[in-house]
Amino acid sequence: MNGFPWGAFCVNLAAAAGAALAVMLVTFAVAVAKGMHRVVDVAWGAAFAAVAVVSYGMSSGHGDDGRRLLVLVLTVVWGLRLAGHIAWRGRGHGEDPRYEKMLSKVPADRRNGYAFRIVYLLQGLLVCVVSLPVQVACYLPGSVGPAAAVGAALCLVGLVFEAVGDHQLARFKADPAHRGQVMDRGLWGWTRHPNYFGDFCVWWGLYVLACDGARWSSAAGAVVLAVLGPLTISFLLLRGSGKPLLERHMAQRPGYAEYVARTSGFFPWPPRKGGVDGRA
């Protein structure tokens, strides 16, 4: 097929939305049973993995097999690693303070319904938008080109930043001597948000894969649609619920102002004079 298969792709959009909703419904049921809505954070990565699996299966006979498999593996590895990390990090903890604060403003008998509308459905919608590069890439009819290597490399850089950053932070917090201190070592000495930077790289890398081999006369509209994914996640990370929210939470911690003064706010860069030595 020479042109972009818009009919099949539109069906995929509906199926992907159904997959994301299914993950959110199952997670909501678990949250109600546990009396704790922080589990929705685990569903974020799992929902992307579900969308990737559905898109891979439904795109058979449309997109290039190599690109489809590459996008599937990268997205599932990213999503399940993130879900597993958040589940491990939250074990033994109570409700997330963010959700406690939000739900405290709602009568007790209406909190679950409110949480489903405001948190679960919103996250499901965001998954559908952010995952557009994954869905488009699965349906691109052109053969794999050089851009695939660039996109995959960018994804791998992001995965490394996330995994290494999370591991370094977990080790730091596990040491009682670091209680109340600011993590400023390893990757955290080069950027205040290595995990968010990793997300940024992964989704722009997947977008490059969604541009790879595209026949612009027929696939330009799909490629333009796909850019909504990385643009949305970039906004969330840089201006929405990511970096700004976390930094407001950390602002009063002793030593954080000095950390901000010497460490890049997002893109990795050597610490400014008076910074740390970079040890993990």
**Domain assignment of residue 57, given as a range:** 6-262
Whether 15 is in a domain gets the answer yes
Whether 213 is in a domain gets the answer yes
Whether 133 is in a domain gets the answer yes
Give the pLDDT confidence of 133-175 residue by residue, as tens digits: 999 999 998 888 899 999 999 999 999 999 999 999 999 999 9
Strand ranges (E), the chain: none
Give the pLDDT confidence of 206-237 residue by residue, as tens digits: 999 999 866 655 788 899 999 999 999 999 99
Alpha helix (H) residue ranges in 91-145: 97-103, 111-115, 121-130, 132-139
**Residue 228, number of CB atoms within 10 A of its CB:** 14
Q: What is the DSSP string of 26-40?
A: HHHHHHHHHT-GGGH
**Distance (Å) of CA 40 to CA 16, 98, 118:** 18, 12, 12
Q: Is residue 133 within 8 Å of residue 210, measured between CB atoms?
A: yes
Whether 269 is in a domain gets the answer no
The model's confidence at residue 21, banded by pLDDT at 50, 70 and 90, is: very high
Give the pLDDT confidence of 26-74 residue by residue, as tens digits: 999 999 999 999 999 999 999 999 999 999 999 999 999 999 999 999 9
Whether 273 is in a domain gets the answer no
Enumerate residues 6+ apart whose C-beta is below 8 A from 188: 165, 168, 169, 194, 263
Whether 1 is in a domain gets the answer no
Whether 268 is in a domain gets the answer no
Q: What is the pTM of this model?
A: 0.93
pLDDT of residue 240: 86
Q: How many domains does the chain have?
A: 1
Give the pLDDT confidence of 97-137 residue by residue, as tens digits: 888 888 888 898 899 999 999 999 999 999 999 999 999 99
